[in-house]
Structure 1
Amino acid sequence: MREVEAKQKLIVIIGPTAVGKTKLSIELARRFNGEIISGDSMQVYRRMDIGTAKIKESEMEGIPHHLIDIKEPEESFSAAEFQGMVRKKIAEIAQKGKMPIIVGGTGLYIQSVIYDYQFSDAPSDPSFREELERQAGEIGNEALHKKLEAVDPESASRIHPNNVRRVIRALEIYHCTGKRMGDFQSNQEPELLYDTALIGLTMEREKLYGRINLRVDLMMEEGLLEEVESLYHQGISGCQSIQAIGYKEIYEYLEGKSCLETAIENLKQNSRNYAKRQLTWFRNKMNVEWFDMTDTDMASKKINEISQYVEGKLHLKSNTY
């Protein structure tokens, strides 16, 4: 009987914004001779650094990082495109004898890579799609999302109103087939393609929310307003990247729809809501090993605990520092 080929080993770090994924990823990369792949759908965009909490070169400690700054803000980026890029990058990193480590908070994107997940091959209707795109511009994202909620509440609960492209795709599938988007995926067995150590970071909610609020204040100090103003004055608007939290709120201020103070408060609120949705999504969709990072004074001990989990799960030996 032919021996089954061993799966490629892979470390994945997920969790809500501001929970401490970046620090952990650097430490695990040092210990396990790793290279890091960004699992964030917005860090792919150039010139969008502060608002996406992109890691600074000085913080990388010489660890190679991939899938950062590979798109212009005007370009679209899909989970299917991400899937292809990351699977290729995992193979390249492994070929060098290094450990691939995916780090991020965009759940669907990461799920699409590590599971044998096929994107819907449901039929399409370009004219219907164009009509919905026109409607989105006229009635707004929330109103379009309510249309989806009326026919496919499950998809509506998973898709944020500002993810207009995906809202439209779900409506298009229903229009063409009378079925919900989930109906095309429900019969798929979620088989892991890699020998994966799937690490989730969590934190007591009030502490996490405090860190998110502080992060937004630091972003403003670091020049978030100037970063967004630069994009705005370049005429970049109406595209996927500008729907990101941290950009859409400042755009509302620049367009005269809110004052700056309100924009900052909205940014904090939207970030907190997003963190809550991230945690819910990860808990419902993936088999994650969770680690509580609430006690920041015990961070080193927690990192050692996570490192030991990775060693046991993947049968690895870490470098100790």
Structure 2
Amino acid sequence: MKIITIVGPTAVGKTSLSIDLARRFNGEIISGDSLQVYRGLDVGTAKVTIEEMAGIPHHLIDVREIHDSYSAADFQQEARLAIEDISQRGKLPIVVGGTGLYIQSLLWDYKLGREGEVDDTGLREKYESFAEENGNLALWQQLQAVDPLAAEKIHFNNRKKVIRAREVFELTGHSILEPKEQPQKLYDSFMIGLNTDREILYQRINQRVDIMVAQGLLDEAEKLAGTPEVQAAQGIGYKELFPYFAGNITLESALEEIKLHSRRYAKRQLTWFRNRMSVNWYDLVQQPETLHEIEDAIEKWLEEETN
């Protein structure tokens, strides 16, 4: 089954490209973003507008309430159902998003169990933060509880290896030390990665934050400020504003934090996709004419027989 996947950091034009390709190739779009599932969180998630959709059906947007949780396992199940539905109707599924774990768990046959509950920042940052707050030993003890085989072989102070072992177990349900076959790839996916020069990317991210404020970001964040413990409230662009609402920092400081965290997240997104997936990279920001190159490559790929 053929699908197109568009990945990359924030603010590089994934939404615009997805609409162009859906119109050109009779496609429908599946959001692979872990926050766009929430109703009412439109500005801070850069959610596609009705006007931008241009009549193209979109899936997995506005499917959860703000207080609900949403996991990689939820996305995996619901996105696969959407792909099946779209394909059966003779249309081309186009998955768009920057949440690396979601895309990886969708395309490959990973078995996500109860511990598939992750937020949009990804597993690695989750465990890094846990270690920073609780220490390496506490992180190692967490690994020991679920994967004693790996814990026996990895010293508790080797944080990098402990995190990798914990990450593998959560994603696959297997010890990193267990011999196992590589997960099967489930789809014939043409993977498009969008990126641009780092300085330009960071400038676009900063500008996007300013635009979001003008569009009502503070109103959205204020809705979440009363329930900072819910998963939706942990998204970049929202949690940084809570100290401002409490009177502890200035608005300028909060916005600088959003920009900083957004830039760091973009860097992590690029690292994930470069290290874990085979992606065809393009720069539509500086070279918009390469859209024709992308379309030509997709046409050739669609003519190929699926293995």
TM-score range, shorter chain: 0.7 to 0.9
Letter paired with 1:227: E
Letter paired with 1:258: I
- Does residue 1:245 correspond to 2:242, yes or no? no
Looking at structure 1, the residues matched to 93 and 181 of structure 2 have their Cα atoms a distance apart, in angstroms, of 26
TM-score of the pair, normalised by structure 2: 0.82
Letter paired with 2:295: S
TM-score of the pair, normalised by structure 1: 0.79
Q: In the TM superposition, what is the alpha-carbon distance from 1:305 to its structure 2 partner?
A: 0.8
- RMSD across aligned C-alpha pairs, in angstroms? 2.3
Verify the 8 A CA contact 2:28 2:94 in the aligned structure 1.
yes
Find the counterpart in structure 1 of residue 147 from structure 2: 177
Find the counterpart in structure 2 of residue 284 from structure 1: 275
Q: In the TM superposition, what is the alpha-carbon distance from 1:227 to its structure 2 partner?
A: 1.8
Letter paired with 2:28: E
- Does residue 1:302 correspond to 2:300, yes or no? no
- Does residue 1:150 correspond to 2:120, yes or no? no
Letter paired with 1:222: Q
Q: In the TM superposition, what is the alpha-carbon distance from 1:273 to its structure 2 partner?
A: 0.3
Letter paired with 1:303: L
* 1:54 counterpart (47, 61, 64): 47
1:29-53 per-residue CA deviation (whole Å, 9 max, x = no partner) reads 0011000000000000011110000
Find the counterpart in structure 2 of residue 212 from structure 1: 205
Pair 188,174 (structure 1): closer, same or farther in 2 beyond 3 Å? farther
Equivalent pairs, count: 271
Q: In the TM superposition, what is the alpha-carbon distance from 1:95 to its structure 2 partner?
A: 1.1
Q: In the TM superposition, what is the alpha-carbon distance from 1:289 to its structure 2 partner?
A: 1.1
Verify the 8 A CA contact 2:284 2:291 in the aligned structure 1.
no
Pair 27,47 (structure 1): closer, same or farther in 2 beyond 3 Å? same
1:43-76 per-residue CA deviation (whole Å, 9 max, x = no partner) reads 0001111000001101100000010011111111
- Does residue 1:313 correspond to 2:298, yes or no? no
Q: In the TM superposition, what is the alpha-carbon distance from 1:309 to its structure 2 partner?
A: 1.4
Pair 222,121 (structure 1): closer, same or farther in 2 beyond 3 Å? closer
Looking at structure 2, the residues matched to 283 and 256 of structure 1 have their Cα atoms a distance apart, in angstroms, of 40
Pair 175,74 (structure 1): closer, same or farther in 2 beyond 3 Å? same
* 2:266 counterpart (259, 275, 292): 275
SS in 2 for 1:101: strand
Pair 142,258 (structure 1): closer, same or farther in 2 beyond 3 Å? farther
Is there any run of 5+ residues in structure 1 with no aligned partner, and where? 1-7, 123-139, 153-166, 317-321
Q: In the TM superposition, what is the alpha-carbon distance from 1:315 to its structure 2 partner?
A: 1.7
